[in-house]
Chains A and B, each alone.
Chain A
Amino acid sequence: MIRRLPHVDRVGIEERAATLGKRSIKTTAKQQGIRLAVSMLDLTTLEGADTPGKVRHLCSKAVCPAPEMPEIPSCAAICVYPSLAGVAAAALAGTGVRTAAVATGFPAGQVPLDVKLRDTEDAVSAGADEIDMVISREAFLAGDDARVQEEIVRVREACGDAHLKVILETAELGSYDHVRHASMLAMEAGADFIKTSTGKASAGATPGVCLVMLEAIRDYAHRTGRQVGFKAAGGVSTSKAALHRLVLVKETLGDAWLTPDLLRIGASSVLNDLLMQYAKTETGRYGRSEDFSKE
């Protein structure tokens, strides 16, 4: 299979992404945008030190992020390692908040395919509704598109009914041309979502990377009619950054994608900033970080 790369102009894409960062989101638009962003959060903890206790705390935060502000919706999902998927699924049962587990040798993906499949099956049987897999960058960078796709197809099968998010780890791909190409490979192979990053690399969901992936999703939907979701993860740590990502989606894919079924933001620290900014629109003054529980 000969790789034919698409062209993405780096200067042009970054200029467009920066222009959209200048949209003025004020008053009611800011309130609605923040509520929307909260509803799309995959509240994440991916540390070696994660324990069942920590995960349960995070689950209750995801279900009810701000008890004193009932108009703030629940987050979309909790994202954990497979070993804690069972804990999360039990804590979230009946709440509407979903359990997502990273799998396939996250974050490097440098394990054999059978281990990746087993990892996925374990997470699903533990109760994960969504699987966040990593592509094999080793194969992609070596030019072996067939293996990248084959792995996604196999993991897709192992997922069963669970939704599959495919992490491209864009910071390791080296160019926007590669980001676009990898987006297309993942969608062709059956990804329900494509996701920017693991959060463990040097850069994450930069505006330029998001825009390249969104344009790929738009073109794929135009060609096939299938709506693939998008998850921005890594580096989205402020309300301003979260709203910027929503603007990118709104003006590239349109309002149809502004729902947790098709758009997610993977983060942990951004939630409290969103809550603080929301409280500010209500009270007119900035709160303190101590006003909201960490988890």
Chain B
Amino acid sequence: MDVRTSIVWDYAPAPESTDHVRLRDDYGLFIGGEFRAPQDGRHEPTFNPATEEPIAQIAWAGEADLRAAVAAAREAQAAWAALPGRERAKYLFRIARLIQERARELAVVETLDGGKPLRESRDIDIPLAAAHFFHYAGWADKLSYGIGGRACAPMGVVGQIVPWNFPLLMAAWKLAPALACGNTAILKPAETTPLTALLLAEIIQEAELPAGVVAVLPGDGATGAALVRCEGIDKLAFTGSTAVGRDIQSAVAGRGIGLTLELGGKSANIVFEDAALDQAVEGIVNGIFFNQGHVCCAGSRLFVQESVADEVVSKLWDRMGRLRVGDPLDKNTDVGAINSAEQLQRIEALVAAGEEEGAVRRSIACDVPDRGYWFAPTLLTDVSPAHRVAVEEIFGPVVSVLTFRTQAEAIEKANNSRYGLAAGIWTDKGAKAFEVASALQAGVIWQNTYNHFDPTAAFGGYKESGFGREGGPAGLRPYLRVS
């Protein structure tokens, strides 16, 4: 046999090295500019969801720790706010540069702790986190230009609770504008992904931010609930589930506390028959399989015009077959591990409910490791708008396909949701794209792309997806008292 026709070719494993990562065995609470043992908290391990192995022991804050952090933040706030904006900017620039310097390490830790593919933590999470600090460093000395020329003052001490899907990036989204505006901040990272927030605390130490300006207090939902109810907080910012968002809103009612909520979504990705279909398919894949679908703005409701539905589904299924699922540290992995056992159960339960209601399920064949939490990218067809999988947020690599006949029907169906976070529009006609965009109730609308983020663009929701905006000049407003 001719050697030339008998060569088989596949990618060899290409794991990113972890040798350069220097993690400690245990991490304390970051309060008053130093790492401390908890007063009334405890230690819990954080796990690698791709192997179920513990990575490090993490201190969880108790109520006394919360009070200590709030007191330190309160003490530091007046001096921090009194600094000229350009001085605060210097600290933010310094943090941004240190994130860039430690980018490789941060990317590996983000992947170890959260299960997302290294390709994403390396190319998206970490560079964008640095970009947010750079962006808001630029705003620190020109705040009133960002709010229409009015006078303003910081809110004071802010409590910030971030989710596990983009741990460092969400911390950056929250901290950068808060600090630029002269607030001091108490950050509570998510229960399953505290590590990069703690590395960020190290970076903040290295940047010599005044003690107390930032505190990092890991913990679970109970810690978050305690922070929300803690005396001495002037503003809360939360990104996470709608259920928790509701609890927070009722807890702050009547206390004169500012609040922004960035909650769930069931975003519509609308493909018109005149779209560039291959690129639309690419956008569908990016929209729902990015970060295993653990994305609040994931394009989980796919609306395809009936005239091209078969073609799009066939192309999508073909493309899904090329997704590489497995070791998140491998540089060629497209889809990594599900973040936790709990999340995996939730995804499995919802997909099973979808099948019971009559949706047709197709999951790609993929070899996944024996240990760890995995869910194969899944396509649901024959979905009706009333099915649970078309209504509830799955927060996993599962796309539900629905069809429409006309532009008006597409708009009506897309808006027929309790959520309103994001939407995608795929068409080659500019006028149609603008017409549809202005009729959609969604905070973020992408045209001929999906899941692209930029620090200059505002992000936030309508309806049960929350309120308040993050990013760009709009992201300053929630952290300022405007007079």
Identify the A interface with B (CB < 8 A). Answer: 6-9, 11-13, 15-16, 22-30, 32-33, 35-36, 39, 73-74, 76, 96, 215, 222, 246, 250-251, 255, 258-261
Q: Closest Cβ of chain B: how far from A17's Cβ, in Å?
A: 10
Are A261 and B10 within 8 A (Cβ)?
no
Interface residues of B in 1-43 (CB under 8 A from A): 2-5, 7-12, 14
Bound state CA distance, A25 and B14, in angstroms? 8
Kindly list chain A residues whose C-beta atoms are within 8 Å of the C-beta of B10. 29
The proximity string for B residues 329-344 relative to A, scoring 1 for CB distances below 8 Å and 0 otherwise, is 0011000000000000
B282 within 8 A of A: yes
Partner of A96, one of B2, B9, B119, B428: B2
Distance from A9 Cβ to chain B, minimum over Cβ atoms (Å):
4
> Chain A residues with Cβ under 8 A from B5's Cβ?
39, 259-261
B443 part of interface (Cβ distance < 8 Å): no
CA distance A33 to B314 in the complex (A): 29
Query: Which residues of A have CB within 8 Å of B9?
Result: 29, 32-33, 36, 246, 250, 255, 258
Contacts of A24 in B (CB 8 A): 11, 14, 331-332
Task: With A24-B332, A251-B322 as known contacts, state yes or no: A16 contacts B8, CB within 8 Å.
Answer: no
| CB–CB B279/A9 < 8 A | yes
Interface centre among B277, B279, B332 (most CB of A within 10 A): B279
Q: Please name all residues of chain B whose beta carbon is closer than 8 Å to the beta carbon of A32 when the two chains form the complex.
A: 7-9
Contact A7–B8 (Cβ < 8 Å): no
A9 to B448, CA, bound (A): 8
Q: A12-B283, A27-B12 are in contact. Are A74 and B449 (CB under 8 A)?
A: no
Q: How far is the CA of A39 from the CA of B274 in the complex (A)?
A: 40
A56 CB, nearest partner CB in chain B, Å: 22
Q: CA–CA, A76 to B2, complex, Å?
A: 11
Cβ A36 vs Cβ B7 within 8 A? yes
Beyond the given pairs A12-B278, A24-B331, A32-B8, 12 more chain A to chain B contacts, judged by CB atoms under 8 angstroms and listed by A's residue number, are A7-B428, A9-B276, A11-B448, A12-B276, A12-B282, A22-B123, A23-B331, A25-B14, A32-B9, A39-B4, A39-B7, A258-B9
B408-452 Cβ-contact flags toward A at 8 Å (1 or 0): 000000000000000000001000000000000000000011000
Instruction: Compute how far the CA of A7 lies from the CA of B332 in the bound complex, rounded to whole angstroms.
Output: 29
Given A8-B276, A9-B276, A13-B278, answer yes or no on A23-B11 (Cβ-Cβ < 8 Å): yes
- CB pair A7–B3 under 8 Å, yes or no, is no
**Any chain A CB within 8 A of the CB of B275?**
yes
Q: A7 to B428, alpha carbons, bound, how many Å?
A: 7
A11 near B449 with CB under 8 A, answer yes
- Nearest-Cβ distance from residue B252 to partner chain A, whole angstroms: 41
Chain A residues contacting B12 (CB-CB under 8 Å) are 25-30
Q: List 6 A-B contacts (CB under 8 A).
A: A6-B276, A7-B275, A22-B119, A39-B7, A76-B4, A251-B322
Within the assembled complex, what's the spacing in Å between the Cα atoms of A145 and B283? Answer: 31
Chain B contact-residue range equals: 20 to 34
A11 to B286 CA separation, bound complex (whole angstroms)? 14
With the chains together, A26 CA to B123 CA distance in Å? 19
Contact A215 B278 (CB under 8 A): yes
- Beyond A7-B428, A24-B14, whether A12 also contacts B279 by CB under 8 A is yes
A89 CA to B428 CA in the complex, in Å? Answer: 49
Pick the contact of B279 from A16, A23, A74 — CB < 8 Å?
Answer: A16
Knowing A24-B331, A29-B9, the reply to whether A7 touches B276 (Cβ < 8 A) is yes
**4 residue pairs, one from A and one from B, having the closest CB atoms:** A12-B279, A24-B14, A39-B4, A29-B12
A12 touches B4 (CB 8 A): no
Chain B residues whose CB sits within 8 angstroms of the CB of A96 once the complex forms: 2, 4
Q: Is the CB of B449 within 8 A of A12?
A: yes
Residues of A with C-beta under 8 A to B277: 7
Measured in the bound complex, the distance between the Cα atoms of B275 and A8 in whole Å is 8
Determine the distance from Cα of A223 to Cα of B277 in the docked complex, in whole angstroms.
Answer: 16
Q: Which of B5, B12, B277, B448 has the largest count of A CB atoms less than 10 A from its CB?
A: B12
Asked whether, in the complex, the Cβ of A13 is within 8 Å of the Cβ of B279, the reply is yes
Task: Enumerate chain A residues within 8 angstroms of B332, measured Cβ to Cβ.
Answer: 23-24
Complex alpha-carbon distance, A215 and B319, angstroms? 11
Minimal beta-carbon separation of A6 from chain B (angstroms): 8
Q: How far is the CA of A7 from the CA of B277 in the complex (A)?
A: 8
Nearest Cβ in chain B — how far from A181, in angstroms?
A: 13
- Across the two chains, which residue of chain B brings its CB closest to A32? B9
Taking CB as reference atom, which chain B residue is nearest A5?
B428
Question: In the docked arrangement, what's the CA distance between A67 and B119, Å?
Answer: 39
**Nearest opposing residue in chain B for A25, CB measure:** B11
Bound Cα distance from A261 to B2, whole angstroms? 12
Cβ of A73: which chain B residues have Cβ within 8 Å of it? 3-4, 7
Q: What residues of B have a CB within 8 angstroms of the CB of A261 in the complex?
A: 5
A residues in contact with B282, CB < 8 Å: 12, 15-16
Residues of B within 8 A of A7 (CB): 274-277, 428
Q: Please give me the residue from chain B that is nearest to A243 by CB atom.
A: B9
What residues of chain B lie closer than 8 Å to A255, measured between beta carbons? Answer: 8-9
Complex: how many Å from CA A293 to CA B279? 43
Distance between Cα atoms of A26 and B12 in the complex (Å): 6
Contact with A along B173-212 (1 / 0, CB 8 A): 0000000000000000000000000000000000000000
- Complex Cα distance, B10 from A73, in Å, reads 18
Residues of B within 8 A of A215 (CB): 278
- CB-CB < 8 A to B275: which residues of A? 7
Least distance between B269 CB and chain A CB atoms (Å): 14
| Bound form: Cα–Cα A8–B281 in Å | 12
User: B128: shortest Cβ distance to chain A, in Å?
Assistant: 16
Residues 362-380 of chain B: 1 if any A CB is under 8 Å from the residue's CB, otherwise 0?
0000000000000000000
**Complex contact A74–B448 (CB within 8 A):** no
Q: Cβ of A25: which chain B residues have Cβ within 8 Å of it?
A: 11-12, 14
Q: How far is the CA of A73 from the CA of B274 in the complex (A)?
A: 46
Interface code B449-478, partner A: CB below 8 Å = 1, 0 otherwise? 100000000000000000000000000000
- In the bound complex, residues from chain A placing their C-beta under 8 Å from that of B283 are 12
Assembly CA distance A260 to B6 (angstroms): 10
